[in-house]
Amino acid sequence: MTESITIRRPDDWHLHLRDGAMLKAVLPETARHFGRAIIMPNLVPPVVTGALAAAYRDRILAALPEGMHFEPLMTLYLTEDTDSSDLAAAHASGLVKAVKLYPAGATTNSASGVRDFNKVRPVLEKMAEIGLPLCVHGEVTDAEIDIFDREAVFIDRVLDPIRKATPGLRVVMEHITTRDGVQYVAANDTDLGATITAHHLIINRNHILVGGIKPHYYCLPVAKREEHRLELLKAATSGDPRYFLGTDSAPHTDDNKEMACGCAGCFTATNTMSLVAEMFDREGAMDKLEGFVSLNGPAFYGLPVNEGTITLAKGGPVEYPDKIETEDGPVRVFDPGFPLHWRVV
């Protein structure tokens, strides 16, 4: 008898779709399995107003192949000039579901992000008042802080002060990568959630650096020591509703990854469900999979769960393409380095 599991259709609470030819190529990879996704606003130029978010949403829907159903949940890119009334209107109309905080310089296209956190205080207060969540890229950017410590330092120096100064602000710590991140979630209330990517459940920093540098495993926040990966796996499979899937699937062409100064990002949209199911199965936690991928995220965002379901079946190794072709060039699909056995049927 084939082992199988049917769960509510999942959502991705952190996704990069890009624009133009790349959008067209990567969107079906997500829409095939996922009902909705929180769409990252780090385009060039970034999505900083309600009008830009509405136009981007239209471009995403126009790129969706006939017969596929997918709802993009739009975000605004927080800058020191964000206008509270524009943001409130974009939220009230139902268009915008979250605001994204990038510390300036933290990652891809984050140059317009926040340098002086005092400057965004009034906007954060408005968000707390209207119940609009803040999605946080939680890394400090100070040159003297070691890249492997940037998440932990961000929690102490930036995140905790922001949360204390803005009671009621709902915050998602995105793509947590450390025990410190897990402990901070555990020590706080339900106004705080965290997303975890598929790739951070699988790789540690050795995967990037041992036996030759592996640019396709380089992402931000960078994968940490094995002990941190194990904490993430424990958190994801714990059943605690504050953790949910946010893939941070971040397509870059192979040319842009395999160069002297390669881009950060793992492209997991194609095989996310197989990756996550494999890791949950190994932990004996298949009963927690639906919560992590389909229920906890909507609960945090105050949205209904998806109507439909997907079924995963376990069998012989699942084949995935090594890369997807785009008009900009090929984009390598994340390779976990071991066979995957669960496929969406």
Instruction: Indicate the residue type of 113.
Output: G
**83 part of the active site:** no
For position 248 contacting Zn ion by CB under 5 A, the verdict is yes
CB 280 within 8 A of CB 288: yes
Kindly report the backbone phi and psi dihedral angles of residue 199, in degrees, each rounded to the nearest multiple of 5, phi listed first.
-70, -30
- Interface region with Zn ion, contact rule CB under 5 A, candidates 4-12, 120-128, 240-248, 322-330: 240-248
Binding residue (CB under 6 A) for ligand DOR from 79, 82, 107, 326: 107
Residue 40 carries which DSSP code? P
42 binds, among ligand DOR, Zn ion, none (CB under 5 to 8 A by kind): ligand DOR
- Determine which one of 11, 12, 240, 248 is catalytic: 248
Cβ 40 to ligand DOR shortest distance, Å: 6
Task: Give the CA distances from residue 195 to residues 69, 95, 238, 257, 302, in Å, rounded to whole numbers and listed in that order.
Answer: 23, 21, 13, 24, 16
Cβ 322 to Zn ion shortest distance, Å: 23
Pick between residue 108 and residue 238 the one whose CB is nearest to ligand DOR: 108
Which DSSP helix (H) or strand (E) runs through 26? helix 20-31
Cβ 167 to ligand DOR shortest distance, Å: 27
For position 265 contacting ligand DOR by CB under 6 A, the verdict is yes
Q: Mask: binding to ligand DOR, 41-60, rule CB under 6 A, as x and -? A: -x------------------
Q: Which of residues 73-92 bind ligand DOR (CB under 6 A)?
A: none
Q: 188 by DSSP, 3-state: which?
A: coil
Integer Cα distance of 205 and 214 in angstroms: 10
Which DSSP helix (H) or strand (E) runs through 96? strand 96-101
CB 295 within 8 A of CB 305: yes
Q: Mask: binding to ligand DOR, 131-170, rule CB under 6 A, as x and -? A: ------x---------------------------------
Cα diameter, the chain: 60
Q: In sequence order, which residues have a C-beta less than 8 Å from that of residue 214 and are 6 or more positions away?
A: 207, 208
Cβ 91 to ligand DOR shortest distance, Å: 23
Instruction: Provide the annotated active-site residues.
Output: 248
Contacts to ligand DOR by CB under 6 A: 16, 42, 107-108, 137, 219-220, 248, 250, 264-265
